[in-house]
Amino acid sequence: MGFELKNKADNQVLHRNDLSGEDFNTGRLVESTMDINLPFADAKMQQWYFDGIRMGYSNWHYHNQVEMEWKGNLDMVTLYFNMKGHTTINNSHFDKPFELGKYQHNLFYSQKGEGTLKNDDLFVNSFLVQFTKDAFLRITEGANDVLKRFGENVMEGKTVALSPNSLFMDINMLNGINAIVDCKYQPELKKMFLLSKSIELLVLQAEAYNKAKNSGPKFLKTEYDKERIIYAREYLVKHLDMPPGLSELARAAGINEYKLKKGFKETFGNTVFGYLAETRLELAKNDLLEKKKSVSEIAFELGYSSVQHFSNAFKKKFGVSPGRLGR
C-alpha cells in the first residue's frame, strides 16, 4: 500500500493507490489528470513524475469542513506549497500538527506516516514536489548547510521538517509553480524544464528558511494583520492593469500605509511596487512564450504607460527584448 485516504467520520476509503517511490523512477515523463468526486468535495488533480521526482497540483472545493485520515509509506521528501485555503496536516511521527495557510510552504521527510488532514476553508489550492531519498540526496549533494543537515536526517531515515512553523511564499515560488502548471513544451524539453524548476523550488525553500531564521523580530504580530497583507497581495494581482496606489491599497486591505509597506516586505520579500513589477513581467514573459499576444497588447493589458517603457523593463529583467523573445 502506497497511500490511503479515509473519511474519519465513517471510516470510508476515499482514495487508495499502491504507488511507491520506486514507481516514480521511470526514465520518461509521465503526466496525468484526474477528477475526484466525493460526497463532501470535488477536486481536480494533475501530476507529473520522472527520475524519482513527482509533482502534484490540486484544486479542492469542499462542501463543508471535513477531517480525513491518511496512511502512507512512500519514503519521499515532500515540498508542500499551499496557495489557497487553510490546511492542517497531522503526522503521528511529528511532535505537532503543521498548519499551512494562504501562500505558505514547508519541507518534510518521513519514511512512512499516518495521521489526519483537515480543511479549514472550502477552497484549497496546493502544489507539491516529492523526491525519492536517492533523488533528493543526489540533487542536494554539495548544497548549503540547511539542506546538508536536512539530508543527513533523510539519510538516517529520521522524520524531519525544514521549519517548525510554515514559511511564506515569495513571488519566485509562485512564478515557478505557475510555470510548471502552464508548461507547454514537448515531453523531452518539458522533462528538463520540470527538473530545473523542482531544483529551483527546493533552493528557494532553503533560502526562505535562511531569511526567516536571520530576520530578527517579526513586524506583523497578529494573524489578522497577516491576513490583511495576504488580501493586499490578492487585490494587487487582480488589478494589474490599473494598479492601486499605496493609500488605496491600504484602505482596501483595512490597514495603514506604514503597516502595509513593512508587512508586505516582511511577508513576500519585496516592496509592494517591486512585487507588482515582478508579477507583471513574469506574466508578460509567459504570454510572449505562448505567442498569443503582441508586445503592444501585453504592454497595454498590464498597464504600462508605453510599449517602450515595457520593453525597457523587460530587457532589464530578462536580458532580452520582448520582441526577440516573442519570435
In this predicted structure, what is the pLDDT of residue 299? Answer: 87
Q: Coil, strand or helix: which one is 254? A: coil
Taking the C-alpha atoms of residue 297 and residue 299, their distance in angstroms, rounded to an integer, is 6
Rounded to 5 degrees, φ, ψ at 142 are: 80, 15
Residue with cell 509521465: 30
Q: Rounding to the nearest 10 degrees, give the CA dihedral for residues 226, 206, 69, 38.
A: 70
Rg of the chain (C-alpha set): 21
In this predicted structure, what is the pLDDT of residue 314? Answer: 87
In this predicted structure, what is the pLDDT of residue 130? Answer: 94
pLDDT tens, position by position, 173-202: 998 999 999 898 888 899 999 999 999 999
Neighbours of 140 (CB within 10 A): 21
Rounded to 5 degrees, φ, ψ at 71 are: -150, 135
In this predicted structure, what is the pLDDT of residue 155? Answer: 92
pLDDT tens, position by position, 292-324: 788 898 888 888 888 998 899 888 888 888 888
Could you say which residues of the chain have pLDDT below 70? Answer: 1-2, 19-21, 216-217, 326-327
Give the Å distances, CA to CA, from 108 to 1, 57, 260. 20, 17, 31
In this predicted structure, what is the pLDDT of residue 110? Answer: 87
Taking the C-alpha atoms of residue 233 and residue 238, their distance in angstroms, rounded to an integer, is 9
Taking the C-alpha atoms of residue 44 and residue 61, their distance in angstroms, rounded to an integer, is 9
Domain boundaries, the chain: 3-214, 223-325
CATH 2.60.120.10 for domain 3-214: yes
Taking the C-alpha atoms of residue 31 and residue 29, their distance in angstroms, rounded to an integer, is 7
In this predicted structure, what is the pLDDT of residue 289? Answer: 77
Q: Which helix (H) or strand (E) holds 38?
A: strand 30-38
Domain spanning 223-325 has what CATH number? 1.10.10.60
Q: Quick one: three-class SS letters along 62-73?
A: ECCCCEEEEEEC
Torsion 288-292-297-300 (CA) sign: negative
